[in-house]
Amino acid sequence: MYKNHYVSAIIAAAGMSNRMRSSMNKQFISIDDKPILAHTIDKFEKCKYVDEIIVVAKDDEINYCKREIVNKYRFQKVSKIVRGGKERQDSVYNGILALDERAEIVLSHDGARPFIKIKNIIDGIDGAIKYGASVIGVPVKDTIKVVMDGNNIDNTPKRDLLWAAQTPQCFKKEILMEGYRKAIDDNFIGTDDSMLIERLGVDVKMIMGSYDNIKITTPEDLIIAESILKGRETIFERMELILQGR
């Protein structure tokens, strides 16, 4: 089913990394002696249903990314490294403009989410094919409060209705393009790609992901990342590859 569709993955790696408090872009910080971005790309490289990978990087880091990530780790599916924009939305749009003309399904993923499971990538592709739009996420564990001016709690949403959105976010290309065109026309900046599609009135299917699929943003996240790596056993990674044969 999946191989009847050309699948492209856009990996956004052009963030400023301000909260990491590091002189180095967080994407290039190593965990387990390998850059975070290399861990991330590797998952999409190993997913046999992904046909191409487009990496979006800061303009002054494109050559470094090509040399120290793509070439060093011999990623064969990375077709282009393109320049990022002011906002994440601008960066993803630059990736969209660089898509192979055969692209039918487009995945948008954060470069700083290295623990995405191959099974979740496949589930996201499946969701995009079946529903047109899907997002990987997990139910929230904490009680969420809506806070207004003065830090006063306004209300408490029902927790069983709340999910934390992750990436990849997966779409049929024409739906994603329409969402971005409307956002540009309206001068609208969303917090994720799904938000642009929701504005079209298109239903977006939430797909169960993994609590390990964290976005590495702060120095504390690096400690969690190392813990996740140490807790994973090779057998689980092999099982993910076996699942692709379904």
Task: State the Cα–Cα distance between residues 26 and 14, nearest whole angstrom.
Answer: 10
Q: What average pLDDT values come out for the chain (246 residues) when binned by 10 residues?
A: 85 76 77 94 97 97 97 98 96 98 98 96 97 98 95 96 98 98 97 98 98 92 82 56 60
Helix intervals (H) in 47-160: 62-65, 88-97, 118-131
Whole-prediction pTM: 0.90
CATH of 2-243, one of 3.30.360.10, 3.90.550.10, 3.30.420.40, 3.30.70.580: 3.90.550.10
Secondary structure E strands in 7-90: 7-13, 30-31, 34-35, 52-57, 78-83
